[in-house]
Structure formats: C-alpha cells, structure tokens
C-alpha cells in the first residue's frame, strides 16, 4: 500500500510538472501576442496621429491662403471664384487624407504579418504639400 501511494505521488508530480510547463508555454505565447499587439497599436496610433496632424496643417494653410485672398476681393464674382477654389482644395485635401489613411491601414498590418513594424513615412505627403503650396 505504501508503494502505491509513492507511485501516485510521483505520477501526480510528473503531471503537475507537465501541466505547469504547458501553462507557462501558453502564458508566454499570450504575453508575446499582447506585446506584439501593443507595439502594433502604438505604431498605428503614431501613424494616424501624423496623418491627422499633417492634414490639419494643410487645411490651415489653405484656409489662411483663402483668407489672404479674400482681403483683395471686389465683387460677388470674385467671392464665388474664391469659394469655388476653397471647395476644390477641401475636396482634394479630404481625398488625399482618405488615400493616406488607406495606405496606413493597408501597410502596417501587412508589415506586422511579416514581423516588421516600420514607422510610417510622411515625407511624401510633405513633398506634395510643398509642391501644392508652391503652385
């Protein structure tokens, strides 16, 4: 009877050891997944913040330019032309914002699935803004 109890203790210790190892493996996997998701969420948040700030700066520039032009207007036809130009800028800026957000939402998950989460590059958007401002 004493030997059966000793065998049972050894068996349960072995089982507990295997169970503990399995639980540790699951725990480590979950921590790795959480860490990866946290990193992904941070990079996505930074990229979206950069896109939003760039958009707001572009809109402020265009609104400021429209206000400057409005000081020199004489007559309703010039006001209508200014309003039309401003609305075209708004539509163009929102279309560009949509494209940039789409690019961010498309590129970051693809990079995450490859295990590489680069910082989103806004240099192309700054060049487009500078080109449009110069025009």
pLDDT digits (tens, 9 = 90+) for 49-103: 999 999 999 999 999 999 999 998 899 999 999 999 999 999 999 999 999 999 9
Q: Among all chains, which residue has been given the structure tokens 């950069």?
A: 50
CA dist., res. 81 & res. 94, Å (int): 20
CA dist., res. 40 & res. 45, Å (int): 8
**pLDDT value of position 14:** 60
CA dist., res. 135 & res. 133, Å (int): 5
Angle at 105 between CA 104 and CA 110, to 5 degrees: 95
- pTM for this model (two decimals): 0.62
**121 against 18, higher pLDDT:** 18
Domain hosting 54: range is 2-134
DSSP secondary structure, 65-116, as one string: HHHHHHTT--SHHHHHHHHHHHHHHHHHHHHHHHHHHHHHHHHHHHHHHTT-
**60 against 24, higher pLDDT:** 60
Domain count, the chain: 1
């Amino acid at each position: 009877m004493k030997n059966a109890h000793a065998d049972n203790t050894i068996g349960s210790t072995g089982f507990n050891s295997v169970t503990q190892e399995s639980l540790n493996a699951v725990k480590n996997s979950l921590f790795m997944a959480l860490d990866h998701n946290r990193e992904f969420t941070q990079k996505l948040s930074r990229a979206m913040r950069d896109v939003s700030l760039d958009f707001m700066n572009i809109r402020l520039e265009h609104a400021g330019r429209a206000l400057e032009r409005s000081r020199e207007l004489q007559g309703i036809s010039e006001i209508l032309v200014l309003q039309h130009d401003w609305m075209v800028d708004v539509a163009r800026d929102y279309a560009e914002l949509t494209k940039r957000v789409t690019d961010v939402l498309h590129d970051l998950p693809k990079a995450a699935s490859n295990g590489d989460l680069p910082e989103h590059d806004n240099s192309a958007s700054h060049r487009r803004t500078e080109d449009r401002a110069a025009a």
